[in-house]
Structure 1
């Protein structure tokens, strides 16, 4: 199956899940996760009308996307993977949104990078909803205080929340918890749901879903 065909299938599933949740068919944005896939795959997706992409590694994104922006001015890039503080300035330079803010040290690095670069990409706070030791994300119990510090102390353009629920078990309670936090904090963006669970995420209020393998196939 071609990338264009896979994109059409995923878009149809997103629309169906949105309608089933009582939302409009265009209520959810698709972030096509192109990590480890070559620039040619991104070009195929662009030809099929996809303009929003997600990358895990800043270095890979920096090599792949700047040459494409001139021909596709509507292209938008999200950094969705764990971000090292020494890559904060590179991320601020190339990204339209950074989805993986998860600790105070990174918040300070992003604040400094935005001042130096003169760019303020939107930011999402990543919450470790499953309290898993091996996963990034601010702990649930610290999330509200961290959000306030990000907005008030570090003056970051925080627009929403992101999570990766545990691989085992029902993800919906985790998605519902994150949606509740976003509502309490007045945050409009909820990035949650990937290839295996994005319909459940949409049912719980996701505004963005991050889909890679269902579009591009196995990692390159």
Structure 2
């Protein structure tokens, strides 16, 4: 049998489809976000040409510098990194989804920016699922208050986002995030990266954030 080379994108899509089938889910219900942070436009364009239409960036400024020179038709940009409140206006203008809503001051800034722009990107509440001091996200106990504030402010909250602690089994953390989402009547689950997205899909991820497996190691 002759081996057929496939692109990294085709391989990831095949793995998503296979895992979704095992989980009794539709692959079309899982949005693959290609995490293009730190990658140049020359590395992103081939994926767009291959049909990838969702990309994730960590920083507003980097996205503003990079994306004006890239095709944007039907492309969805996701802000997956921490967002400073003073960058809310730029984030609302640039992105179609913001995955790192985690505190009242940011909620207030985003609400004002959305009202001014007449644009309302999808929002995820980021949860510090492992209670790690170095990571963003609200504490689990604070989630009900943060979610209520966001909803009252008119933010279109569609789900929760989390990053499990490094070098630990991620499944229990993914399961906890899914439980929290269900409790608060949210259907979106932004969880799973290059090394664990298949586990995340099994638990119910609707958005997976894959960088290294698509672009290679970062410098």
Q: TM-score range by the shorter chain?
A: over 0.9
CA distances 1:132-171 after superposition (whole Å, capped 9, x unpaired): 010000001111221111102x111111110000012211
Structure 1 stretches (4+) deviating beyond 3 angstroms? none
Q: Where does residue 43 of structure 1 map in the other structure?
A: 45
Helix, strand or coil at the partner of 2:186? coil
Helix, strand or coil at the partner of 2:132? coil
CA distance in 1, matches of 2:22, 2:10: 18
Q: Where does residue 85 of structure 1 map in the other structure?
A: 85
Conservation of the 8 A alpha-carbon contact between 2:107 and 2:149? no
Helix, strand or coil at the partner of 2:189? strand
CA distance in 1, matches of 2:7, 2:106: 38
Conservation of the 8 A alpha-carbon contact between 1:18 and 1:27? no
Q: Where does residue 156 of structure 1 map in the other structure?
A: 155
Q: Where does residue 127 of structure 1 map in the other structure?
A: 127
Output aligned runs, 1:89-128, within 5 Å: 89-128=89-128
CA distances 1:64-85 after superposition (whole Å, capped 9, x unpaired): 223324xx41111000000011
Q: Where does residue 3 of structure 2 map in the other structure?
A: none
Q: Where does residue 59 of structure 1 map in the other structure?
A: 61
Give the TM-score normalised by the residue count of structure 1: 0.94
Q: Where does residue 17 of structure 2 map in the other structure?
A: 15
Helix, strand or coil at the partner of 1:125? strand
Structure 2: segments with no counterpart, 5+ residues: 1-5
RMSD over aligned Cα, in angstroms? 1.2
CA distance in 2, matches of 1:202, 1:144: 25
- The yes-or-no answer on 1:139 pairing with 2:139 is yes
- The yes-or-no answer on 1:26 pairing with 2:28 is yes
Helix, strand or coil at the partner of 1:160? strand
CA distance in 2, matches of 1:212, 1:17: 18
Structure 1: segments with no counterpart, 5+ residues: none
